[in-house]
Amino acid sequence: MPRRNKIALIGAGNIGGELAALAARTNLGDVVLFDIPDKEGLAKGKALDLEQNGSILGYDSKIIGTSNWDDCAGADVVIITAGVPRKPGMSRDDLLSINLKIIRNVAENVKTKCKDAFVICISNPLDAMVYELKKVSGLPKERVVGMAGVLDSARMQLFLARELGVSVGDVQAMVLGGHGDTMVPVLNYCTVNGVPLRQLISKEKLDAIVARTAGGGGEIVKLMGTSAYYAPASAAIAMARSYLRDQKRLVPAAAYCEGEYGYKDLYIGVPVVIGARGVEKIVHIELSAEEKAMLDKSAAAVRELLDAAAKL
Ligand code: APR
């Protein structure tokens, strides 16, 4: 019998709510919006508001709010935003000890209730959270992935489009590495509809855009006192859709490396193909010596974070 996809969203806060709205609007499936017992009212309220929105917008996704993991059982996709977002002045790494405890609890529940799901982690610090999620849940590496590169690339694409005065839809950028200050835009692969970026923009302007991209999350935290939610949600939904519809999109995402790019036992942003088998492959692209050195530096920063996490 045909059945509808079930999408469990762990964390019903700012990103969780936007994820639910997008999943429903794009008819991706039915949605379970999960949060801790103290926030069950918030989860249920958002779910009801969004179901009512379906009458206006014309979707019929079932959306429930809950604090009971049993309601998430059998989910096809799990997207995790559980945790605390950044406040002004905080780096993503500052969140480590708080969010690590939360992610361990979430991972235990994913292991028992959602072991067949494709799991996308958004909680920060991303590379450490997704590593812990895989370790504690025991899910295969193909089905545990972190959302960062799609968002970082989108930010860079926007800044480039505005600078060049072209449609954002024509700009392709790829940002690899850890989701932090050490992220690595691979400029040789950035184009405007196939035209290499470096033919269109001065080095100074490009450097400024690269720097703005690396601080792109912090810029928003500073403005509104909490972290971004619209674009992060859209990025994760694009990844979920690629899995559920077997689109085989090639996107940058935090994937578990076992030798790829020279990294072992590490989650870091690399180009991947997402299809019905999850992360179907990590794609090897040629990097300049400078880019590889930047990626190594980024990997070292992620490794430091993992070492710190292992002691907590
Ligand atoms: N299980 C489920 N949900 C939890 C748990 C838990 N163990 N612990 C906390 N939460 C919930 C909170 O109650 C809150 O409703 O996670 C939700 C997080 O929502 P927000 O505070 O609005 O944060 P949001 O902006 O959605 O960001 C969440 O994503 O981008 C990252 O840095 C960001 O780590 C942060 C996460």
- The enclosing H or E element of 63 equals strand 63-66
Does residue 107 have its Cβ closer than 6 Å to ligand 1?
no
Beta sheet of 30-34, edge-to-edge order: 63-66, 30-34, 6-10, 77-80, 118-121, 144-146, 249-258, 264-275, 278-282
Local confidence band at 68 (pLDDT 50, 70, 90 cut-offs): very high
Ligand 1, atom 22, residue with closest C-alpha: 13
Nearest alpha-carbon partner for 138 in 164, 104, 92? 104
Does residue 85 have its Cβ closer than 6 Å to ligand 1?
yes
**From 160-169, 183-192, 276-285, the region with the lowest mean pLDDT:** 183-192
How much is the pLDDT for 135? 97
Q: What percent of the chain has pLDDT over 70?
A: 100
Pairwise CA distance, residues 271 & 252, whole Å: 4
Local confidence band at 94 (pLDDT 50, 70, 90 cut-offs): confident
Pairwise CA distance, residues 278 & 191, whole Å: 27
The conformation of residue 177, written as its DSSP 8-state character, comes to B
- pTM (predicted TM-score): 0.97
Pairwise CA distance, residues 9 & 81, whole Å: 8
Q: Nearest 5°: CA angle at 142, between 273 and 27?
A: 65
Mean pLDDT (the chain, rounded): 95
Local confidence band at 86 (pLDDT 50, 70, 90 cut-offs): confident
Ligand 1, atom 31, residue with closest C-alpha: 123
Pairwise CA distance, residues 49 & 185, whole Å: 39
CB-CB contact of 263 with 302 (8 Å) = no
Atom nearest to 38 CA in ligand 1 = 13
DSSP for 242-303, written as a single string: HHHTT--EEEEEEEEEESGGG-EEEEEEEEEEEETTEEEEEPP----HHHHHHHHHHHHHHH
The conformation of residue 311, written as its DSSP 8-state character, comes to T
Does residue 66 have its Cβ closer than 6 Å to ligand 1?
no
Q: Nearest 5°: CA angle at 217, between 273 and 44?
A: 80
- Say whether the peptide bond before residue 125 is cis (omega within 30 degrees of 0): yes
Local confidence band at 85 (pLDDT 50, 70, 90 cut-offs): confident
Does residue 35 have its Cβ closer than 6 Å to ligand 1?
yes
Does residue 96 have its Cβ closer than 6 Å to ligand 1?
no
Does residue 124 have its Cβ closer than 6 Å to ligand 1?
yes
Interval between CA 81 and ligand 1 midpoint (Å): 5
Higher pLDDT, 67 or 1: 67
CB-CB contact of 251 with 174 (8 Å) = no
Pairwise CA distance, residues 117 & 121, whole Å: 12
Does residue 122 have its Cβ closer than 6 Å to ligand 1?
yes
Which stretches of the chain are DSSP H helices? 14-25, 40-57, 96-113, 126-137, 149-164, 203-214, 216-224, 230-244, 289-310
Interval between CA 84 and ligand 1 midpoint (Å): 5
- Show the tokens assigned to 94: 């500052």
Pairwise CA distance, residues 228 & 218, whole Å: 9
Interval between CA 244 and ligand 1 midpoint (Å): 24
Interval between CA 141 and ligand 1 midpoint (Å): 23
Atom nearest to 42 CA in ligand 1 = 15
Interval between CA 14 and ligand 1 midpoint (Å): 8
> Does 288 score more than 80 pLDDT?
yes
179 a catalytic residue: yes
Catalytically annotated residue among 134, 179, 184, 252: 179
| Centroid of chain to Cα 292 | 23
CA distances from 132 to 122, 177, 200 (A): 13, 18, 41
* 206-263 tens-digit pLDDT: 999 999 999 999 999 999 999 999 999 999 999 999 999 999 999 999 999 999 999 9
* 114-129 tens-digit pLDDT: 999 999 999 999 999 9
